[in-house]
Structure 1
Amino acid sequence: MAHHHDNDKEINYVGDSRVIEKKEKMVPKDYSEFPGKTEAFFPNFLLKEWMVAVVVLVGFMALVMTEEPPIGEQADPTNTGFLPVPDWYFLFLYELLKFKWASGPFVVIGTAIVPMLAFGALFLVPWLDTGKERRPMKRPITTGIMFLALIGTVALTWVAWDEHEKQLASLPKGEAEAKIVDQRDPAYDIYKNNACVNCHGQNLEGLQGPPLRGVGDYYKPKEIMKIMDEGKGNMPAGMFQGTALEKKQLADWLSKQKTGRKITEEQ
């Protein structure tokens, strides 16, 4: 045994050969005496994780390339019958924010407190579960948190999708797809520049008066012109202020607004 003069460290020699014994080894420890208990993180454990990640990634990419993604209807600000719904993996959050205790005056609970509790529980798992057991039944805290999160996510997703399907089924036929027909027609400008827009809306969506989308399913041009002259329901006579030609153009254009459904007599 001797001391190195440069760094004043103790040096162990092998016999009298004056060869410095190297104590630091780059080879990971041998855990063969403890089978199934533990292993070296690098490279043993990390290599296994990388291999699994590569297999999952390749499978996911193959699925993405072979299956065409379901793209919804093209965005249209004039379609008031459209029911927005997020992607399936956000449906549980979408449904969560519908509850009274997580929206409105309690929106902070749904947007901050509940996610904080969920992510906080996930963050505290290493400190809550300090046992050496790896069997799920021997780890009640971790297993319980996992099952609660899984059951809650699946249940909220199912409720959200079921409610969306019921909303679609309750809409009159064609209402969800109703769009303004031929917006480039000059009659649309006649409509927007007249008093009609105050009651029926800029996009025929209906404000104080009934919506005009689909009005062509029920009325013909002559009947529409008669309503303009004589009024109907809460609409007084003589509301249209324009020439006879403009009136005919507007009536013809409104008769094109069809959705395949029938408007009730009250409308």
Structure 2
Amino acid sequence: MAHGHKSDEKIVYVGDSRVRQKSNRPLPIDYSAYPGKSEAFIPNFLLKEWMVAAVCLVGILALVMSEPAPLGYPADPTTPGYIPMPDWYFLFLYQLLKYPYASGDYKLIGALVLPAIMFGGLLLAPFLDTGKERRFYRRPIASSLMLVSLVAVTYLTVFSWHHYTKEMEAKGMIPEHIKREEEMREAKQSGKPAPSTDKKAAVALVDASDPAAEIYKKSTCISCHGDGLKGMSAAKIPALLGVGDTHDKAAIVKIMKEGVGQMPPGLWDANKGKGLTDADLDKLADWLAKQKKAQ
């Protein structure tokens, strides 16, 4: 520190740059002072999360490889008696829409209001439950809502599948995925290739413009064999596409009169009761005999 303007005056320095500036701000205590209660997010906590996720992923992969997902036939809305079923994670909503208060005149409640309440409540949960307590038994409202939702979704999912199996049994139908598994198993045991589900490889309808096609639509045949002669594989009712390769006109007439397999006798006369004549039924048999695979 100088007192004058003389060039030879002695200068005295005050203070030392090595002295640190004091602060009243407390230093944070290291997380290691609280064993088991806190840890560094990176890499400790993040590494643990990755390890848990990896274990869960391996478990899911093992389950997928050991039990392949059941696959049915390609969707075909023209199949008579087809019972549509959503994926398993929507079964509870599917079952919910069957109840009177969520269907019919109240379908908007089942399709929009109830799902909006459930998923909206899930989204708002972090903002509604702001308490510091993390133990579930000290959070009665949040824990109760969670348990009720879990029980409701589980019950609706299980009961939806149970109701579906009862419907199939009542109609004498076999679920598509089971029917397909049986076909693949039989093909494997006999050394044949697995049955194709490619619609392009399906047998085409022959001469769809023939007047007999309209006769078919008026007959009782369409109620079982379906529109387009596609049959009902789930109910073991064969398709009539390609029937001409195995049956001629005489054989078809005989089946219509005497029946075969699940087909009862007397359908020739039953069709007469619907206003069809012998000439109409003869044209129908002739048209069915033309249904052959393309060479």
**Which category of TM-score, normalised to the shorter sequence, fits these structures?**
0.5 to 0.7
User: Are 1:205 and 2:242 counterparts?
Assistant: no
How many positions carry a matched residue from both structures?
227
| Counterparts of 1:225 and 1:15, CA distance in 2 | 119
Question: What is the percent sequence identity of the aligned residues?
Answer: 36
Change (3 A) 1:98 1:229: closer
Q: Which residue of 2 aligns with 1:105?
A: 105
Change (3 A) 1:241 1:97: same
Residues 68-121 of structure 1, C-alpha deviations (whole Å, 9 max, x = no match):
221123333442132221222221111112222222332221222112211222
SS in 2 for 1:132: coil
| Counterparts of 2:155 and 2:211, CA distance in 1 | 48
Look up the equivalent residue of 2:254 and give its one-letter code.
K
Q: Which residue of 2 aligns with 1:156?
A: 156
1:185-200 alignment runs, 5 A limit: 186=206, 190=210, 193-198=213-218, 200=220
Look up the equivalent residue of 1:150 and give its one-letter code.
L
Aligned partners of 1:228 and 1:240 also within 8 Å: no
Q: Which residue of 1 aligns with 2:18?
A: 17
Instruction: Report the TM-score when normalising by structure 1.
Output: 0.64
User: Are 1:235 and 2:274 counterparts?
Assistant: yes
Look up the equivalent residue of 2:138 and give its one-letter code.
K
C-alpha root-mean-square deviation of aligned residues, in Å? 4.5
Aligned partners of 2:91 and 2:156 also within 8 Å: yes
Larger radius of gyration: 2
Unaligned runs of 5+ in 2: 1-14, 23-27, 180-201, 241-250, 259-265
Instruction: Report the TM-score when normalising by structure 2.
Output: 0.59
Aligned partners of 1:191 and 1:250 also within 8 Å: no
Change (3 A) 1:185 1:105: closer
Q: Which residue of 1 aligns with 2:254?
A: 222
SS in 1 for 2:277: coil
Unaligned runs of 5+ in 1: 1-13, 22-27, 255-267
| Counterparts of 1:172 and 1:128, CA distance in 2 | 50
Aligned partners of 1:221 and 1:248 also within 8 Å: yes
* Structure with the higher helix share, 1 or 2: 2
SS in 2 for 1:73: coil
Q: Which residue of 2 aligns with 1:5?
A: none
Tell me how far 1:152 sits from its aligned partner.
0.5
Aligned partners of 1:229 and 1:240 also within 8 Å: no
| Counterparts of 1:228 and 1:190, CA distance in 2 | 22
